[in-house]
């Protein structure tokens, strides 16, 4: 089990949280996504290491950006 935390910018509401959870949750190997709207932190749990560029692409698809990674 692997857990990685990312910072996402631009989220302002519950719909934002749902969009990020949905897109990141579709990455193969991801088993859980926790999003904290107040801090912008997104914690991704997976059964294997997930490439940060895949997470970044999913976050961009949801309409947001990673603050500190690809």
Domain ranges (residues) in the chain: 2-66
On whether the CB atoms of residues 37 and 13 are closer than 8 A, the answer is yes
Q: Which pLDDT score is estimated for 69?
A: 57
Return the axis-axis angle of helices 14-25 and 52-62, rounded to nearest 10°: 140
Q: Which pLDDT score is estimated for 68?
A: 76
Q: Say yes or no to pLDDT of 57 above 80.
A: yes
What is the average per-residue pLDDT within 18-29? 98
Q: Say yes or no to pLDDT of 58 above 70.
A: yes
Q: Which CATH class is domain 2-66?
A: alpha beta
């Amino acid at each position: 089990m692997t857990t990685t935390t990312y910072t996402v910018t631009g989220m302002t509401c519950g719909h934002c949280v749902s969009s990020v959870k949905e897109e990141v949750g579709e990455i193969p190997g991801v088993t859980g996504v926790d999003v904290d709207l107040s801090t912008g932190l997104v914690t991704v749990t997976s059964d294997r290491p997930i490439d940060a560029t895949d997470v970044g692409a999913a976050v961009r698809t949801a309409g947001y950006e990673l603050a500190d990674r690809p």
